[in-house]
Chains A and B, each alone.
Chain A
Amino acid sequence: MCFTSQFWQLTVAGLAIGSLYALIALGYTLVYGVLQLINFAHSEVFMAGGFGGLFLVRELVGDTAPGGAAAVLITTAGILGGALAGAGTAFVLERTAYRPLRRRGAPRLAYLISAIGASLFLYNLAGKEFGRLAIPMPDIYTSGTVFHIFGARVTTNQLVIAGAALVMLIALDRLVAKTRLGQGIRAVAQDAETASLMGVDINKVITLTFIIGGLLGGAAGFLYGLVFNVQYTMGFIPGVKAFTAAVLGGIGNVRGAVLGGLVLGLVENYGVACASSAYRDIIAFMILVLVLLVRPSGILGERLGRSA
């Protein structure tokens, strides 16, 4: 096979980018779960996280890369900064772009238009305020490579991305399966009206769902910025790919989103080795079209509100 010679190298890269897709995809899938709505402005939540993390890290990093324990702290701060910026953006989005429509019982199409409008507004606002050029993240780590596995080089960035994503994915999975809020989210996803008869404040659950999706998406924005720079348009491609990942795994299905993200990351990297890197984005969207044609419910199926 065309990718066997670099198999491990491609796998490492695929898992790293795939775990980012997974983090973003969870934002789509959680919101879809409670509202049956694709939040197409989620890519801007991700972008806001990129800028939030960048600005915070710029304050913390001096002229030289700090390395060591300081690097760990700064990375954590960057993730938190990105997560908070993402959560704030998601919160405002829900209040301004969706809740007024919900109160009026607007048709589905209105939400889609509102989402696209909000997305255009947000990224143009970011472009105007923060400039339109790509901004690199300051160097945080002194060494680019951490270790080798099966002859494949694992970069510091890849390790940070995969490690942070893993922690957040496990935390989210436990939150949905085990906590009272998680149970409320699942109840709203399965039957919102009955959930309200059980005493669940649906509006509160929806707000918190947007915030959780925003935390994950915003953190992903910062992590993405470590490798690919931060720019006002940075949300678009990862956003659509994460949406693909969510559909691939089964929209509304939390574990499906994670699986879809990882599969997409891997396939994309193997595919690049077989064709050329120019095909990277084409592969992702071919997968989207194929899934929609062949198995629209995704790999794990559309099991809304499923706990495990």
Chain B
Amino acid sequence: MAMLELQDVHVKYGAVEALKGVTLEVNEGEIVTLLGANGAGKTTTLRTISGLLRPSAGRILFEGRPIDQMPAHEVLGIGVGHVPEGRRVFPRMSVQENLEMGAYQRKGGNKEVMQRVFELFPVLSERKSQEGGTLSGGEQQMLAIGRALMSRPRLILLDEPSMGLAPLIVAKIFEIIAEINDDGTTVLLVEQNAAQALKLAGRGYVLETGSIVMSDDAATLLSDDRVRAAYLGEDIGAA
């Protein structure tokens, strides 16, 4: 049984159908990436999984349990963490408080998890008492990931963690995603940066205007001509 299953999920914004029957699965321990152009429905997919949006049809199962009608705070409670698009750190809370927010539902003892987060992101430990809004983009992304880890999720949804960051920082973030996965957390990664995402992930799905058009091993997708042309920006003819 897959850890996360989306079965023919449709989502509407008013009259516009943003997802037109998305089916995908993520197995325990995997890193799966969801690729696609702007507006393909990647963020919508993640927002629907974590309960911010309700599907108009279809089912979403987490560890065999339907979660498509659950409010967001309950989805988090059963083990799904979400690092939203644009990081969304609480701007007027300290780094420490932001991290505490991640553990909002956990009773007592966050020390150990916070220690692990500081190990992954030493810079957060240095800036513990600084307000979230004053951090650089890369630091905010680290804080957003660290904050999501505070709830000890079994599955973490990452929405474009590389957005707007310098290449060096992006490499660092991707390294840490691999480390989080090694710690035993399953990862569903949404990215525009397809090359890097496919190098990190085991499998990938390609989303186009609300439908999955391709799914395969990451290595196969990476060498697929259509993927290379559309998402890796390579000119196949010239090669």
Question: Would you call A200 and B73 a contact (CB within 8 A)?
Answer: yes
- Chain B interface main SS type: loop
Residues of A within 8 A of B (CB): 180, 183-184, 186-187, 190-191, 193-202, 303-307
A187-B101, A201-B71 given; A196·B90 CB < 8 A: no
Residue from A180, A190, A195, A202 whose CB has the most chain B CB atoms within 10 Å:
A190
Minimum CB–CB distance from A187 to chain B (whole Å) comes to: 5
Nearest CB on A from B84, distance (A): 6
Report which of A180, A186, A202, A303 forms a contact with B90, defined as CB distance below 8 A.
A186
CB <8 Å contact, A186 and B104: no
A68 to chain B, nearest CB (A): 45
Interface assignment of B91: CB less than 8 Å from any CB of chain A: yes
Chain B residues within an 8 Å CB radius of A197: 50, 52, 72, 76, 82, 84
Q: A194 contacts B71, CB within 8 Å?
A: no
Main secondary structure of the interface of A (DSSP, over half): helix
Known: A199-B73, A201-B71. A187 touches B105 (CB 8 A): no
Q: Flag the segment in B32-40, B92-100, B195-203 that touches A.
A: B92-100
Cβ contacts under 8 Å, B101 to chain A: 183, 187, 195, 198, 200
Name the residue in B84, B100, B104, B147 with the highest tally of chain A Cβ atoms < 10 Å from its Cβ.
B104
Is the Cβ of B105 less than 8 Å from the Cβ of A199?
A: yes
Residue B116, interface by CB 8 Å: no
Residues A190 and B92 in contact in the complex (CB < 8 Å), given A180-B104, A202-B73: yes
28 CB contacts below 8 A, A to B, read A183-B97, A183-B104, A184-B104, A186-B90, A190-B93, A191-B88, A193-B88, A194-B90, A195-B101, A196-B71, A196-B72, A197-B72, A197-B84, A198-B73, A198-B76, A198-B101, A198-B147, A199-B76, A201-B71, A201-B73, A202-B73, A304-B92, A305-B92, A305-B93, A306-B92, A307-B92, A307-B93, A307-B97
Q: Which residues of A contact B76 (CB under 8 A)?
A: 197-199
- Pairwise interchain contact B91-A190, C-beta atoms closer than 8 A: yes
Docked-complex contact A187 and B84, CB < 8 angstroms? no
Asked if B104 contacts A200 (CB within 8 A), the reply is: yes
Q: How far is the CB of B88 from chain A (nearest CB, A)?
A: 4
Report the separation of the CA atoms of residues A200 and B73 in the bound assembly, to the nearest whole angstrom: 6
Number of A-B contacts (CB under 8 A): 67
Cβ of B151 within 8 Å of any chain A Cβ, yes or no, is yes
Q: How far is the CA of A201 from the CA of B104 in the complex (A)?
A: 10
Bound-state Cα–Cα, A191 to B91, Å: 9
Within the complex, the shortest CB–CB distance from B109 to chain A, in Å, comes to 14
Does A194 lie within 8 Å of B93, measured CB to CB?
Answer: no
Query: Measured between alpha carbons, how far is A186 from B147 in the docked complex, in Å?
Result: 16
Shortest Cβ distance from B148 into chain A, in angstroms? Answer: 8
Q: Which residues of B contact A306 (CB under 8 A)?
A: 92
Q: Is A199 a contact partner of B104 (Cβ separation < 8 A)?
A: yes
In addition to A194-B90, A197-B76, 15 A-B residue pairs with Cβ atoms within 8 Å of each other are A186-B92, A187-B104, A190-B91, A193-B52, A195-B101, A196-B51, A196-B71, A197-B50, A197-B82, A197-B84, A200-B73, A200-B101, A201-B73, A202-B73, A305-B90
Contact A198 B104 (CB under 8 A): yes
- Whether A198 contacts B102 in the complex (CB less than 8 A), given A183-B97, A193-B52, comes out as yes
Output the least CB separation between B102 and chain A (Å): 6
Chain A CB count within 10 A is highest, among B51, B76, B84, B93, for B93
Q: Which residues of the partner chain B approach A196 to less than 8 Å between Cβ atoms? A: 51-52, 71-73
Tell me the bound Cα distance from A303 to B92 in angstroms: 8
Contacts of A186 in B (CB 8 A): 90, 92-93
Give, as a whole number of angstroms, the nearest-CB distance from A177 to chain B.
10
Contacts of B184 in A (CB 8 A): none
Task: Tell me the bound Cα distance from A180 to B107 in angstroms.
Answer: 11
Q: How far is the CB of B76 from chain A (nearest CB, A)?
A: 4
Give A188 Cβ to nearest chain B Cβ, in Å.
10
Identify the interface centre among B52, B77, B92: most chain A CB within 10 Å of its CB: B92
Chain B residues within an 8 Å CB radius of A191? 88, 90
Bound: A199/B147 CA distance, A: 12
> Nearest Cβ in chain B — how far from A7, in angstroms?
38
**Contact yes or no, A194 B88, CB < 8 A:** yes
Residues in B neighbouring A180, C-beta threshold 8 A? 104
Q: Which 8 A-B pairs have the closest CB atoms?
A: A199-B105, A196-B72, A199-B76, A194-B88, A199-B104, A198-B101, A190-B90, A199-B73
Chain B residues in 8 Å Cβ range of A193: 52, 72, 84, 88
